[in-house]
Each structure stands twice: as structure tokens, then as C-alpha cells.
Structure 1
Amino acid sequence: MKTVVIFYALGEQEMRKLYSFALDEEKCIFFVKVDGFFKEEDAKIYLSEFQTVVNSINPSIFTLIIDGRGQEEVPSDVVDDIIFVLKLYWMANFKTLIIISPTSPASRIQVENCAHKINFPGVFVDSVEEAYNLLNK
């Protein structure tokens, strides 16, 4: 597996990793890990970098795994942004979409409610192991 991008943003006290991408071309898995709270500028950079990776592969043969366990609850006015990102994942036409649900109960509910609103075709799981187990069936 090769790491494509790791992005850091200035936090209040230290640098914090907002996301990382890993592309396993042999197993056809694009693994994305997201952490913390994205500010608007962070989100723009994330979306640009995500699209760059998607444009370099054939998504229809790849599984996209989004590890969202570290996502923090977002203000209600950002819900449309969550829906936008879920649609982006969906419209990229990945073979399989797997979301590892946020650990925070409030964040989990937010993301799952957004997915339900748009009939998101992905599968929600609770752990990385569960995500990979789905691929081995």
C-alpha cells in the first residue's frame, strides 16, 4: 500500500493530521482516513486532493473505504456539506463504498442521517477489520 497524501492543519496548540490517503493498487482499495473538524479551506483542499487520486485510477474496480472514526460533530449548518461529500463518493462510481462510522455518537447520527436522506449506497461498519472482512466475502 502506498500513501498518497497526508495533510496537516494548524490546530490551536499543535499540528493535527486531518486526513490521509492510501492507495493499494494490488488489492484495488482506496483508503481514506479523516480526523477532527475540517474548516472550509481544509475541506476544499481535501476535495481537490481526493479528486486528484480518483482521476488517477479506475474507480469502478476499486473499493473506497472511508475511516471516519475520528470525525467530530459538526454544526447543523454543515450538514449540507456532509451530503455533498457523500454524493461525491457515490458519484465517483467506486465498485464498493464502505464508511467506518464516527466513534462520536452525535457524529455517527449526523453522517448516517445524511446518508439516509440521499439513499447512499454504501455500507456502514464500526471498524477497519469489519470493512476488510466485507471485502473477503
Structure 2
Amino acid sequence: MYKFEIDDKKKVLLITAEGFFKNDESEAFMEKLYEAFGLVQATDYDLIVDVSNLDVVKQDLVYKIADAFELYDELGFKNIVIINPISILAKVQLFNIARSVHFSGAFVDSLDEWKAR
């Protein structure tokens, strides 16, 4: 499951993804992602992606995550923050995907951790 929220007052686009993604969900997620990006001026907004309750990603969907990370970087958000999964395996998997595409966003264990920086 996933959800997109835009807070124009705080200039934040919040994406929440949880559970175990399937192929059909990944396609719908990417469509919704492009739609959400069209509603904000990225350079004025922070992007926060909360995947704290995301399960390990199936191997055939890894490229979709990599594509999303690359897209996040390309759009030029003020800040890109990924809230780490609770699952250690999912966390390692996301770190490896991020490293493979030279992702520039910050990985944190909580939003408070990022705000304290």
C-alpha cells in the first residue's frame, strides 16, 4: 500500500509506502508518482519518503526502486529524505539500490532525526 500527501503550507510532498509491493502495484505507484510530481514545484518542496513499514522488495522490482530514486534526484527537490524501513533486510536492500544509482537523499530512522540536523 502507498499514499501521497502534499502539504503546501510546509512545502512537503510525503510518500508513504508499506507492506510488500507486487508488480501491478509498482506500475500504479509509478503512475501516481508522476502525477504527484506534476502538482508541485520540486525546487520549492522537500520530498519525504516514509518506508518504515516496507517489507523486502522482490528482486524483479528492484529496478523500479532504482528508477524512483533516480527520478527523485533528477527533479531537484530541496531535500530528499528516506525514513528507513524497520526491517534490517529491507534497509540494507534500499541502501544497496541507492548506492547503485548514486542517490543523493538522506536516510534517517525518523523524521525527528532529520529535523535535528
Q: Normalising by the residue count of structure 1, what TM-score does the alignment of the two structures yield?
A: 0.79
Question: Closer, same or farther in 2 for the Cα pair 1:104/1:45, shift >3 Å?
Answer: same
- Helix, strand or coil at the partner of 1:124: strand
For 1:70, the equivalent position in structure 2 comes to 53
Structure 2 residue 44 is the aligned partner of structure 1 residue 55: no
The answer to which structure, 1 or 2, has the higher relative contact order (CA under 8 A, 6+ apart) is: 2
For 1:21, the equivalent position in structure 2 comes to 4
1:50 to partner: Cα distance = 1.5
Q: Give the number of the structure whose alpha-carbon radius of gyration is greater.
A: 1
- Larger relative helix fraction: 2
Residue ranges of structure 2 left out of the alignment (5+ in a row)? none
Structure 2 residue 17 is the aligned partner of structure 1 residue 34: yes
1:112 to partner: Cα distance = 0.5
For 1:89, the equivalent position in structure 2 comes to 72
In structure 2, give the amino acid aligned to 1:25: D
> Which consecutive segments of 4 or more residues in structure 1 shift more than 4 A?
none
CA distance in 1, matches of 2:24, 2:61: 14
- Larger relative strand fraction: 1
The percentage of counterpart residues that share the same residue type is 28
1:77 to partner: Cα distance = 3.3
In structure 1, give the amino acid aligned to 2:36: V
